[in-house]
Amino acid sequence: MSHNMFDGYKLLAVLVLWLGTSAQDKHTVHVHAAQHQEHQEHTAHGSVGLEKVVLVIQSQRNSYHVRQAVERKVEILHQAAELGKEWFLGKRLHDNEASIIHHYAFSEDPSSFGYPDPAAGWALSSPLLRRLAERIQHEHLKSDFTIDWKHEIALYIWEEGNGPELTAVPEFCTEPRQNCATTFTTYLPNCGDPVSKNDLFVAVKTCQKFHSERVPVVKATWEKDAGFLEYYSDVTDASIPTINLGVPNTERGHCGKTFAILKRFLSKAVPKTEWLLIADDDTLISLPRLRRLLRCYDPKEAVSLGERYGYGLVFNGYSYTTGGGGMVLNRVAVSRLLSSGCSCYSDDAPDDMVLGRCFTLLGVPITHSPLFHQAQPDDYSNALISLQEAISFHKHWNIDPMAVYKHWLQDTHPLDEL
């Protein structure tokens, strides 16, 4: 540190860029550069270009000013160390209660763990990014399934307390306001008039034991918004009515039934439409919002749309759309699938995963929309879904499905039906 005696001068911090110095100045510059280099090596070897900057603190010989200058030097070096830290930044989300989609992590205090809202964007510091890239090269991921990537990435970065937690930064925004570095519009863009209700065929999978429990909920909520809808069961029930496809009901998976639905969709037994929705009998869905979203997609391209999960992605696995949230396919995708010969390995195989594997082999992309939900509203961050115009939720466990539909999915002023 150099001390210059200028009476009346206040403590001043000066940044001097390395633009070339005279011989007279070199000693001072080298001393500061060496101090900075030593400090950098001591603080996680961070490199943010500060070796190009000399920090000169002007002070006076009086002990008070000397102490002030020393304190300021410590502050500046601390700030330099902070720049070399591992940072994980974004808009913080947290679970309201223990969630099945997060494997009930942090069940004693779900709000204690934060994960980023991807709509606002998120950032990693260079030191953290470099370490994670190195770690990924030498460490296998612990789970075969990818369910909610934003939560899983936060867990991976946190590394059971050995890595940084997400730091909430208010400048990462999903709603416009002052001082926002990022903002967001909508997951449900306006791509024009909604697809006609007569260009969407709806297939509802059910079975006899749920005819009196779940089917009435569908009829009381979203059935009225369908142009063409059929219920597929293991028995024929004229009161609903249901269609028996000749595939016995299975407890674990419904691959046989789903492939029978796909074949029927391409047959002359049902009206010809461009789009097919396959839903469970405990799926709650907004068909008007779905039809708005479908306008954004070209029906001439093969489309598989829904909430995307992954299986074995690190080891050349595949993505798939979850069945409970609703699987949307267009005619082109169904035709390519059935003509390929890809099929179920058993009737009780998981239909959504088999479809995902088949489409991956065919090169058909699995398109994700966060507006589809495999679980109930309480399994998602309220801050996240409250800003959405959700398309679907799934399961009736311990909830009033009618109330959930009315609160989250029913439009107060629906658009005119086409």
Query: Which two tokens mark 34?
Result: 């060496």
d(CA 70, CA 57): 9
Per the CB < 8 A criterion, the answer to whether 321 and 305 are in contact is yes
Residue type, 317: G
- What does pLDDT average to in each consecutive run of 10 residues of the chain (418 residues)? 36 32 35 42 46 73 85 83 85 94 94 96 92 89 85 95 96 93 91 97 96 97 98 96 92 91 97 98 98 96 97 90 98 98 94 97 96 97 93 96 98 62
d(CA 43, CA 181): 28
d(CA 213, CA 208): 10
User: What is the model's pTM?
Assistant: 0.80
Map residue 275 onto helix, strand or coil. strand
Neighbouring C-alpha atoms within 13 Å toward the C-beta of 150: 24
Q: How many CB atoms lie within 10 A of CB 71?
A: 12
How large is the C-alpha radius of gyration of the chain?
29
> 40: which residues sit within 8 A by CB, 6+ positions away?
46, 47, 50, 51, 80, 84
Question: Alpha-carbon dihedral of residues 23, 25, 30, 31, nearest 10 degrees?
Answer: 140
Q: Are strands 228-233 and 200-205 parallel, antiparallel or unpaired?
A: parallel
Predicted confidence at residue 308, as pLDDT, reads 97
Predicted confidence at residue 55, as pLDDT, reads 75
> 47: which residues sit within 8 A by CB, 6+ positions away?
40, 84, 126
Predicted confidence at residue 53, as pLDDT, reads 67
CB environment 239-275: b (16+ within 10 A), e (fewer): ebebbebebebbeebbbbbbbbbbebbbeeebeebbb
Query: Which two tokens mark 212?
Result: 């009196």
d(CA 241, CA 2): 91
284 membership: H or E segment, kind and range: strand 283-285
Predicted confidence at residue 414, as pLDDT, reads 56
Q: Say whether the peptide bond before residue 241 is cis (omega within 30 degrees of 0).
A: yes
d(CA 301, CA 75): 59
d(CA 295, CA 274): 11
d(CA 19, CA 135): 38
Per the CB < 8 A criterion, the answer to whether 360 and 318 are in contact is yes
Nearest to 325 by CA among 261, 231, 409, 260: 409
| Number of helical (H) and strand (E) elements in the chain, helices listed first | 11, 19
Predicted confidence at residue 137, as pLDDT, reads 87
Per the CB < 8 A criterion, the answer to whether 417 and 196 are in contact is no
Find residue 123's DSSP bridge partners: 89
Residue type, 252: R
Predicted confidence at residue 301, as pLDDT, reads 96
The string of DSSP codes covering 167-185 is EE-TTB-SS--TT-SB---
Predicted confidence at residue 180, as pLDDT, reads 95
Q: Treating both helix axes as pointing N-terminal to C-terminal, what angle do 255-266 and 351-362 enclose, rounded to 10 degrees?
A: 60
Per the CB < 8 A criterion, the answer to whether 32 and 38 are in contact is no
Predicted confidence at residue 11, as pLDDT, reads 31
